[in-house]
Amino acid sequence: MAGSFVRPSLTIKLSVDRFDFDIGYLEGPSYFDEPVFRVLIHELTHFWQTVSMNFLVKAALSEWRQLIDYETSGNTQSQNRFEDKLEQRDKTSGLKPNDLLEAHALYWDVSILGVFNVKNWRNINRSMVDVGDRKIQRSPSSPITSQSGGSFDEVMLSDSFYSDPYRMLHNRTDSFFAALTFPIVVYFAFQTDDPVIAYTEAVKTIRPLVDGIYGSPDLEKRQEVYFLAIQSHVMRAAETKGLSFTEPRAVLTDLLNETNQSQINPLLLHYAAKMHTLEEQAKQYGADLNRYFALCGNVQYRKELMGGGPMPPLVQFADGEWPLQAMINQFMRTGAYDETENDELATIAKDIGRRWSSYRIAAFVAN
Ligand SMILES: [Zn+2]
């Protein structure tokens, strides 16, 4: 693997030496014919998922409790591990929550990088990719190809591991509707404690909604129409299955009200504060943050989430840590970001990453 997202340290790890940006990267990563971009985009989606989906914040909190428990008592046999639910397969649908997350990340890989690149890189991304220290520049040969619904479907439906969730929605609706709404359904399903049940129930009962949306006369404002409709549809589906639906991002921002904050992963607290600021700004401008996170790969929203400064992720390269924000800094030549803060964060993330690996090794040896 050329990269991974490590939840306890909220860090994207790339198995390459650091690389430099060329202008235009944020606007169009697909123009840069480098496999490492696919990995970065993919892991970036996992970061956005983690800070915006209540289910994943609960998993991160559970992992932190285990780590502290291990460090204070040597215990490696934790009970009620929330993150184990990610790998639990639902008997009826055959899906596990992790399949949904990966399908969601694949959706953004394909949407952002394009069908052509994802197809070409499919095999490359499972091995090491070394770009060395050179500056990545737009490849003159990289094609700017338009993609059709057919080619989008082909790549979304042919992944050997993660096509099942998308296929389910595609079969119940149609090519266009599935492409429009898949990330929204997944995003809201992950605000419950059983995303697979919420997702499959929402998909099973979606047909009348599809007809209603297609029949809507308000086509100019199509996103306004379908986004809120999908949101309430998933909420209702969760409720009919007896699941409680939590306000998106509430679990993360509620951490700021905890009395004993020393018991919480400091990186989660950091992003909780960032999220709080973002929520306040959004209120001021009347923006709907659910759109930003549900459609995190959308060109407008991803620029806000990544380049706008609210919360770029920590990125650790093979030769040490290198926070993405500092890189963006360098690239944008603006003083709007605080590089010192990122150095401190990188130090904390490195420490947590190291402690987490020791715990995982101890747990593996003991069990
Ligand atoms: Zn992934």
Which of 112-126, 150-164, 225-239, 316-330 tops mean pLDDT? 225-239
Residue 87: pLDDT over 80: yes
**pLDDT tens digits along 35-72:** 677 788 889 899 999 999 999 999 999 999 999 999 99
Q: How much is the pLDDT for 130?
A: 46
Q: Reduce the DSSP state of residue 315 to 3 states and report it.
A: strand
In the numeric block, which tokens belong to residue 186? Answer: 């997944």
**pLDDT tens digits along 168-227:** 999 999 998 899 899 999 999 999 999 999 999 999 999 988 888 887 776 556 777 789
Distance from Cα 43 to the centre of ligand 1, integer Å:
6
Distance from Cα 41 to the centre of ligand 1, integer Å:
10
Stretch 284-306: mean pLDDT, rounded?
88
Residue 316: pLDDT over 90: no
Q: How much is the pLDDT for 103?
A: 95
**pLDDT tens digits along 89-142:** 999 999 999 999 999 999 998 888 887 777 766 654 443 344 444 445 555 555
Distance from Cα 186 to the centre of ligand 1, integer Å:
15
Sign of the dihedral defined by the CA atoms of residues 355, 50, 48, 156, in that order: positive
Q: Reduce the DSSP state of residue 265 to 3 states and report it.
A: coil
Burial bucket for residue 308 (CB in 10 Å: 0-12, 13-18, 19+): middle
Distance from Cα 258 to the centre of ligand 1, integer Å:
31
Domain coverage including residue 317: 3-366
In order of 102, 105, 139, the CA distances from 116 in angstroms are: 19, 17, 14
| Number of domains the chain contains | 1
